[in-house]
Amino acid sequence: MVGTAVAYNIPPKEFVLNIEFTRLIEATSDIAEAFDKWENDPDLIPFIRPNPNKEALLNRETVTVESLKKRLQHHHIYLIQLDKTLVGEMDFQIDPPHLYKKETSTAWIGINIGEATGRGRGIGLRAFQYLEEQVKQAGLKRMELGVFEFNEPAIRLYQKAGFKEIGRIDRFTFWQDKMWQDIRMEKSI
């Protein structure tokens, strides 16, 4: 039946998903609650923020409307919705101090598919493509990101999206009783 799908030009299943990307302009309690859920999910914590030690894995700050408002001052945040349900978020900052390569006109980007229903369905790649367009519209020429060395699915996603490794930072984050590297990647646009 695969031949039938190709013959009739029917898109693969992951491309018929109803995905929407929306820029977050105003912090609301519903959005802060979703972000807080994701940032405090024990299954996601090791993947979304660096943890200097074991205690940091267990102690996270609560995301509030106020903290989200502060984040909006320095981040361009976009919501990812699947069938009108919020499943994740992505963002970029312009020329932040933690860039590996200190090049101006660089967007530091991040993505978090917080809901399990949004993972493994091609949403991440489509989100990156959308985010790249937003970065271009902002007049930026380069994107950079960091990914922990144990996050192999994310590394494959970033490579598929055209990112190349530019360096590593040793002993960057704690997980599974040891310290791991942060892999820095870039893409010129």
Residue-wise pLDDT for 90-137, tens only, equals 999 999 999 999 999 999 999 999 999 999 899 999 999 999 999 999
Residue 3 lies in a domain: no
- 160-182 residues labelled b (16+ CB within 10 A) or e (exposed): ebebeeeeeeeebbbbeeeebbb
Number of domain units in the chain: 1
Residues pairing with 106 in the sheet: 142
Residue-wise pLDDT for 70-90, tens only, equals 999 999 999 999 999 999 999
Check: CB of residue 152 under 8 Å from CB of residue 129: no
Residue 2 lies in a domain: no
Check: CB of residue 154 under 8 Å from CB of residue 162: no
What CATH number should be reported for the domain holding residue 108?
3.40.630.30
Residue 163 lies in a domain: yes
Check: CB of residue 102 under 8 Å from CB of residue 166: no
Range(s) of the domain holding residue 82: 11-188
Check: CB of residue 7 under 8 Å from CB of residue 45: no
Residue-wise pLDDT for 18-63, tens only, equals 999 999 999 999 999 999 999 999 999 999 999 999 998 888 889 9
Handedness of CA 53, 157, 14, 89 (dihedral sign): positive
Residue 4 lies in a domain: no
Residues pairing with 146 in the sheet: 184
Residue 37 lies in a domain: yes
Residue 25 lies in a domain: yes
Residues pairing with 108 in the sheet: 93, 144
Residue 133 lies in a domain: yes
Residues pairing with 142 in the sheet: 106, 188
Residue 20 lies in a domain: yes
